[in-house]
């Protein structure tokens, strides 16, 4: 989702509503309040391709990673990202290793 899409979906939201975040396939009891948003200035890698015969997609900062021979059709694109989550302490620039 792009930032403009998120802003469009939030346009009519109650400004006092809580924003809940969920892991994939969670049920309603697994939600947690959104606690952190980080607008990154650096570019991240958006890597996609095949692992065996299955599609994969990952995002990560830094230098593109070398992959083992089971990976194929790899494509790496540099993208701007916004991180959101319940707690993102390890993603703050001053804390990264």
State the DSSP string of 16-82: TSPPEE--TT--GGG-EE--EEEEEEEEEEEEEEEETTEEEEEEESSSPPP--TTEEEEEEEEEEEE
Q: What is the CA radius of gyration of the chain?
A: 16
48 versus 90: which is more confidently predicted?
48
Instruction: Please state whether the predicted TM-score (pTM) of the whole model is above 0.85.
Output: no
Label residue 97 by pLDDT band (50, 70, 90): very low
Domain with 77, as residue range(s), is 3-95
pLDDT digits (tens, 9 = 90+) for 8-30: 999 999 999 999 999 999 999 99
Q: Please state the domain count of the chain.
A: 1
Q: What is the pLDDT of residues 49-76, one digit of tens each?
A: 999 999 999 999 999 999 999 999 999 9
Mean pLDDT of the chain: 93
């Amino acid at each position: 989702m792009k930032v403009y899409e998120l802003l469009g979906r939030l346009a009519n939201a109650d400004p006092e509503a809580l924003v809940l975040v969920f892991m994939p396939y969670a049920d309603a009891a697994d939600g947690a309040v959104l606690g952190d948003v980080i607008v990154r200035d650096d570019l991240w890698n958006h890597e996609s391709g095949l692992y065996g015969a299955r599609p994969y997609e990952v995002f990560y900062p830094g230098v593109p990673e070398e992959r083992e021979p089971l990976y194929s059709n790899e494509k790496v694109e540099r993208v701007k990202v916004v991180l959101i989550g319940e707690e993102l302490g390890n993603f703050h620039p001053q804390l990264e290793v």
